[in-house]
Structure 1
């Protein structure tokens, strides 16, 4: 109790908490986009349930990982080395083949994201040749259990990345727990509006799949020791999203104009 009171009275602890909350919320965007796209492929009555279950699984995984920090930090220790590396002119390693368990998990998760995003893009471009089962409305039909399993797999990858980031920013477990709970709460609040927005704007689906494809490549690169600054990734995502919002507003404006012209002609 005294330790908690000391944290509450520490400006440094509050600064670390705010910083970590922002970081966890930003890192949760990737997870939320994947959950939104996957849940939208379910029957309408199951979508919200799938999003809730997926996000609560993410919370459970992250809290469980926080309880095993001592083991989690060992994930960064190399388990084997292929003996290959690349060094730039400044002497920094730009490519490394000493793989840790974290690296292998990131590579596996990245490959899964690349495969999933590529499959979905192919279906959206040419649904007739995708070979997947379709429902009555022409959407890819997946089961609730399949959706949860896929969400759980990506939850695991994103959770490990999220918690290792938290461990690197603070040593205080209560701060990490509060930040994770707050970030997941934001995900719960934003899940339905984001999924509905993606569902009602088909072009956004392709943009979101592009984001997932990029995130998958970044995860693979990170697993091979090529660290792409996250700020570049999220800046590119924000810029692309901003351009798409302008496109949506332009389409809505043209639709209203055509509707107005139609009403005038009718009178």
Structure 2
């Protein structure tokens, strides 16, 4: 379909709007990881690593869109373990034993996320090991524990995993390549706009860090399950994330209300 035909086609606009929303939602995982990782760098490097990381995500997704035929081949099984998995209630195997390139990438990405989130939780539980402590005013402090290059490498690895998931979703929703390109560019633009406020919010609220790491653990498990053919509906995942974020928001508001009350009481 030509560009002019797409512009005047209401179905194309509907597909574009739906795809933009889907791409933005799928980008939340990537954005949380980039925000957490950037906060481990010196303050003067954080904005730059976020821009570079999100820029790499855009380049990867556009490059993958340019190789639609290759992307389609990624879901073709490359080997089969030949093992009979347990049967579900419908008499079907509960997990797959044939693996495609996509499956292997998702499993590797899930394992990496589990390792990364677990190690970060361990560091958060042991301030002495992570270099954190209290400064002279009694505020939490910490030293940078990661180099710029190491952060970019880790972001690039996860960009690849999330980009493949994103592009396969786009391919499944529309056949029009220009619509996919526009949706990806808009979604990554939203990520770029939201990256700094999200990272700053996480940095200001230590309990949100643990919540975000919990999200990464869940996402890692979902990626591994997806790689083994156990498909967890994305709506369940994002509903759980939204509910948890809502509860944490109430906790933050409650803490601030108590702090204001104490501050007001201290003035009498």
- Relative to the length of structure 1, the TM-score reads 0.95
1:21-40 → structure 2 map (5 Å cutoff): 21-40=20-39
Deviation of 1:158 after TM superposition, in Å, equals 0.2
Distance in 2 between the 1:140 and 1:43 partners?
5
| Equivalent residues of 2:42, 2:144 under 8 A apart | no
- Indicate the residue corresponding to 2:107 in structure 1: 107
| Equivalent residues of 2:65, 2:181 under 8 A apart | yes
Distance in 2 between the 1:263 and 1:254 partners?
14
Deviation of 1:155 after TM superposition, in Å, equals 0.3
The reply on whether 1:138 has 2:142 as its aligned counterpart is: yes
Count of aligned residue pairs for this structure pair: 261
Distance in 2 between the 1:225 and 1:81 partners?
13
Consecutive unaligned residues in structure 2, runs of 5 or more: 136-140
Distance in 2 between the 1:38 and 1:55 partners?
12
- Indicate the residue corresponding to 1:245 in structure 2: 249
- Indicate the residue corresponding to 2:138 in structure 1: none
Deviation of 1:226 after TM superposition, in Å, equals 0.3
CA RMSD in angstroms comes to: 1.5
Distance in 1 between the 2:89 and 2:45 partners?
54
- Indicate the residue corresponding to 1:122 in structure 2: 122
- Indicate the residue corresponding to 1:94 in structure 2: 94
The Cα offsets for residues 82-119 of structure 1, whole Å up to 9 and x where unpaired, read as 11233323233321110000000000000000000000
Deviation of 1:140 after TM superposition, in Å, equals 5.2
Distance in 1 between the 2:98 and 2:246 partners?
39
Distance in 2 between the 1:127 and 1:202 partners?
12
Distance in 1 between the 2:56 and 2:5 partners?
31
Distance in 2 between the 1:49 and 1:168 partners?
33
Deviation of 1:126 after TM superposition, in Å, equals 1.7
Deviation of 1:134 after TM superposition, in Å, equals 6.7
- Indicate the residue corresponding to 1:76 in structure 2: 75
Distance in 2 between the 1:133 and 1:144 partners?
18
- Indicate the residue corresponding to 1:152 in structure 2: 156
Deviation of 1:45 after TM superposition, in Å, equals 0.2
- Indicate the residue corresponding to 1:5 in structure 2: 4
Distance in 1 between the 2:42 and 2:144 partners?
10
The reply on whether 1:197 has 2:196 as its aligned counterpart is: no
| Equivalent residues of 1:166, 1:176 under 8 A apart | yes
Consecutive unaligned residues in structure 1, runs of 5 or more: none
Distance in 1 between the 2:204 and 2:159 partners?
25
| Equivalent residues of 1:134, 1:140 under 8 A apart | no
| Equivalent residues of 1:86, 1:96 under 8 A apart | no
Greater shift in the superposed pair: 119-128 or 101-110: 119-128
The Cα offsets for residues 202-247 of structure 1, whole Å up to 9 and x where unpaired, read as 0000000000000000000000000000000000000000000000
